[in-house]
Structure 1
């Protein structure tokens, strides 16, 4: 049985560059509750409860296969428990 998720905020911060632009667009499309904050060298995406990054959504935007492990190339920081499959990278806190 899966533990219920908390509404505690999670975030992911990525380097701001041309490679991350379609990734951020995909995250925004799949997580309408998320808030994107642009900084000079970083993009931070905050969300209450959970943040889901879908491989298929990124692939649609970049026009090629994408391995979710490629996120680590531009990853600065994140907050939340990680649940990762070949198709999704999920950040969320489990409720106690």
Structure 2
């Protein structure tokens, strides 16, 4: 299985987002760097709007993620409720 990843800037806005991603992807591995956090997962990584909203206590538009995203690896499928990174087989 190929690894997908999402890299985000390290700041106060992304801390709860990273926590939400890890809650929804228990097999994900975090690689913390001085200015970024890279989240790696085998085959698939899901970012759920609902989980982020629970942690930040307000409505969240997944488009907001792009402000702090550095890069990603994998095919992208996005709805209003989820972003999924995966590799097509």
TM-score, length basis structure 1: 0.92
What is the alpha-carbon distance in structure 2 between the residues aligned to residue 64 and residue 84 of structure 1? 20
What is the alpha-carbon distance in structure 2 between the residues aligned to residue 63 and residue 26 of structure 1? 12
Which structure 1 residue ranges, 4+ long, deviate > 4 Å from structure 2? none
User: Which of these residues, 55, 61, 74, is aligned with residue 61 of structure 1?
Assistant: 55
Shift of 1:93: 0.5
- Where structure 2 has 5 or more consecutive residues not aligned to the other structure, the ranges are none
TM-score, length basis structure 2: 0.99
Q: Which has the larger radius of gyration?
A: 1
Matched, 1:29 2:23: yes
1:41 maps to what in 2?
A: 35
User: Which of these residues, 7, 12, 18, is aligned with residue 12 of structure 2?
Assistant: 18
- Where structure 1 has 5 or more consecutive residues not aligned to the other structure, the ranges are 1-6
CA RMSD of aligned residues (A): 0.4
